A and B are shown apart, each in its own frame.
Chain A
Amino acid sequence: MTTLTALRPTRSVSTAALYGLGTVSVLAALGLVRGAGSSSTALTVVVTGLAYLLLAFALVLAVEGRRAAVDRTFTNLAWGSFLLALVPLVSVIALVVKNGSRRFDANFLTHSLRGIGPRDSNGGAYHAILGTLEQVGLASLIAIPLGLLAAIYVVEHGRGWLVSAVRFVTDVMTGVPSIVAGLFVFTFWVLALGRGFSGFAASLALAILMLPTVVRTTEVVLGLVPDSLREASLALGVSRWKMVLRVVLPTAASGITTGIVLAIARVTGETAPLLLTALNFDSINSNPFKGQQAGLPSFVFAQAGQPQQAAVDRAWAGALTLLLLVLLLNLVARLIARRTRLKD
């Protein structure tokens, strides 16, 4: 047993001691913050975190030595970063739910803003929801097939200048700011082709923003399909295109679907391109190919910019609708991803 005791550190900090340290930190922070004449919860939390970090370092340094103290500090920092990142998420969701529920009612979901002034307390986002569904739907119809095919070309063709070019362009497009995509569609569709502002113009801009995500995820997922399956298909005397359609794509299907749903979720919340392509509109326009059309994000933006409380309330209700839509899409994506993981 002597060998084992030699492996045991002579002294170590117990979990109970760390809990104690936590309590001390909270009390110290409360004292400090109150003493400085502030009652901010956020500030107290931050000071508590810093106090705990310092106290834990000091305690572990005294008991276990420098290496253990540094290790403990970085563990605390990693946990701290994660908890800190959760703060805005919780805060945003809580506030959107709280303020949004004030006007999130049947009237809001079934009426437009036609004839509604900023002071009026009724009026809704029906026209904007309709516009968003149409715009995002059309964008998906353009971006999904194009992106899928381009990604298939990159992975299954594998060589040549076009493959490198598509890879490069995909990377560059990922970084194109959404406002620039909107400006481009304005210059191209509205100015050069003279087709005017419309929901479809917004779809074009959203499609540009979706494309790189669709290409990139499809590329990654197709790359995960083992080459042995391609070999097996080819060795059966199957042509390449049948191999891709019947063996490679079905194997990759759920991964690709997850990526596509996430791409849809991303563009659903895009505001900037709408302002330059579909503009905004207070009434229902169910024809995405003609005339200005509202979208949920541009609805929120316009209402949020008004000083009247009634308008701001509508903005919050719109934000809640948008958030629900986007989170629903994310949930769907995650469920699809989960289903695949179970399969293999």
Chain B
Amino acid sequence: MAKRITATDVAAYYGGFKAIDGVSLTIEPKSVTALIGPSGCGKSTFLRTLNRMHEVIPGARVEGKVLLDSEDLYGVGVDAVAVRRTIGMVFQRPNPFPTMSIYDNVAAGLKLNGIKGKQTLDEAVERSLRGANLWNEVKDRLSKPGAGLSGGQQQRLCIARAIAVEPQVLLMDEPCSALDPISTLAIEDLMTDLKDRFTIVIVTHNMQQAARVSDRTGFFSLEATGEPGRLIEIDDTSTIFSNPSEKRTEDYITGRFG
């Protein structure tokens, strides 16, 4: 069920402002790809073009091609809502639905998409919570509000919610930046488990995290403020961190800028 993403010459705009330009890369199935780079370089924007979340901001648009295996996400007649069902997303801050219980949070995607039947939902909830390494912690209080969990648990709840709809790709936008080190470790472990089933793309500020969890790493940067961000290079994580081919990548990784 994991699929390959091929982006060709992707550019994204906020109104008249071009945030990223000319991004082309391939994301391999069943692997973790990390996107790193200085603030404002467009890595999060690029991530949001991969499931058409970019366009929900008024005035925002995307140019270029994004293929999921062979299907163009921006092709004629492609429904953005269906794209998002296929490519799930986890956000920077844990955002469980405050009015829903833990169970309902996990089942939300299924229920909202019209899937009914108690047994189906029960199974999906348990499977997703186990998948997110959260089942043992919450199985006795599934009817309690999701907002009552700790930050790290909430983020794993959000991961469970995202994988419950059985996506093929999981996008993670700095999923640990609001968490403490122990919760971060739990999420990182989880990513290693999840890549057996999903294609994972993670945006992170934390280079050690990229080095720890990812198989491949892409480095984004921009020439100057106001210029669009670009992909400088993408390669195996070990290569990027030990022997990058671009000077700018090396400068960033060794802490000379950014």
Chain A residues in the interface with B (C-beta under 8 A): 158-159, 226, 228-229, 231-239, 242-243, 246-247, 250-251, 253, 343-344
- A-B contacts besides A233-B108, A236-B108, A251-B98, 8 pairs, CB < 8 Å: A229-B97, A232-B158, A233-B112, A235-B51, A236-B88, A236-B113, A238-B113, A239-B81
Tell me the nearest residue of chain A to B167, going by C-beta: A237
Which residue, A231, A236, A253, A343, has most C-beta atoms of chain B within 10 A? A236
List which B44-80 residues lie within 8 A (CB) of chain A.
Answer: 51, 53, 56, 58-59
Question: Given contacts A235-B88, A237-B165, A239-B81, are A228 and B93 in contact (CB under 8 A)?
Answer: yes
Tell me the nearest residue of chain A to B147, going by C-beta: A344
B58, B88, B93, B112: the one contacting A246 at CB < 8 Å is B112
Chain B residues in the interface with A (C-beta under 8 A): 51, 53, 56, 58-59, 81-86, 88-89, 91, 93, 95, 97-99, 108-109, 112-113, 145, 147, 158, 161-162, 165
Tell me the nearest residue of chain A to B114, going by C-beta: A242
C-alpha spacing A243/B53, complex, angstroms: 14
A158, A228, A231: the one contacting B58 at CB < 8 Å is A158
Tell me the nearest residue of chain A to B171, going by C-beta: A235
* Cβ contact within 8 Å between A234 and B53: yes
Closest beta carbon of chain B to A192's beta carbon, Å: 40
C-alpha spacing A237/B86, complex, angstroms: 8
A232, A238, A242, A247: the one contacting B91 at CB < 8 Å is A232
Tell me the nearest residue of chain A to B84, going by C-beta: A237
Tell me the nearest residue of chain B to A242, going by C-beta: B112
| 12 pairs, CB–CB < 8 Å, chain A vs chain B | A226-B95, A228-B91, A228-B93, A232-B95, A235-B53, A236-B162, A237-B82, A238-B109, A246-B112, A247-B97, A251-B98, A343-B98
A231, A239, A344: the one contacting B95 at CB < 8 Å is A231
* Cβ contact within 8 Å between A236 and B58: no
Tell me the nearest residue of chain A to B105, going by C-beta: A232
* Cβ contact within 8 Å between B165 and A228: no
C-alpha spacing A242/B81, complex, angstroms: 11
Tell me the nearest residue of chain A to B82, going by C-beta: A237
Closest beta carbon of chain A to B197's beta carbon, Å: 18
Closest beta carbon of chain A to B99's beta carbon, Å: 4
Q: Which residues of B contact A228 (CB under 8 A)?
A: 91, 93, 95
C-alpha spacing A344/B162, complex, angstroms: 23
C-alpha spacing A3/B28, complex, angstroms: 68
Question: Given contacts A236-B85, A237-B81, A237-B165, are A251 and B97 in contact (CB under 8 A)?
Answer: yes
